[in-house]
Amino acid sequence: MVAKIQFSRGIDEDAIPDVRLTRSRDGSQGTATFFFQNPKALADDSTEEITGMY
């Protein structure tokens, strides 16, 4: 099984993100920030609506 990212259900994103993880000093909260280079979801010819990250 391979992990895939989708911004519209059923359409796999080809770009591989750089992921950065941060955590609060007390460890109670954290964030994951995804950086994409030229994502397919934002291409000029894309007609799909971005509905989330799946």
Q: Is 19 among the domain residues?
A: yes
- Among all chains, which residue has been given the structure tokens 């994103």? 13
Q: Which of 31, 4, 2, 27 is nearest to 19 (CA)?
A: 31
Q: What is the DSSP string of 12-25?
A: E--SPPEEEEEE-T
Q: Is 20 among the domain residues?
A: yes
Distance CA 34, CA 13 (A): 13
Q: Is 14 among the domain residues?
A: yes
User: What is the token pair recorded at 20?
Assistant: 């950065």
- According to DSSP, the residues that pair with 34 across neighbouring strands are 19
pTM reported for the whole predicted model: 0.71
Q: Is 35 among the domain residues?
A: yes
Q: Is 23 among the domain residues?
A: yes
Q: How many folded domains does the chain comprise?
A: 1
Which range marks the domain in which residue 10 is found?
6-42
Q: What does the pLDDT look like over 1-54, one tens digit per residue?
A: 888 999 999 899 999 999 999 999 999 999 999 999 999 988 888 888 999 999
Q: Is 28 among the domain residues?
A: yes
Q: Is 54 among the domain residues?
A: no
Q: Is 53 among the domain residues?
A: no
Distance CA 8, CA 52 (A): 7
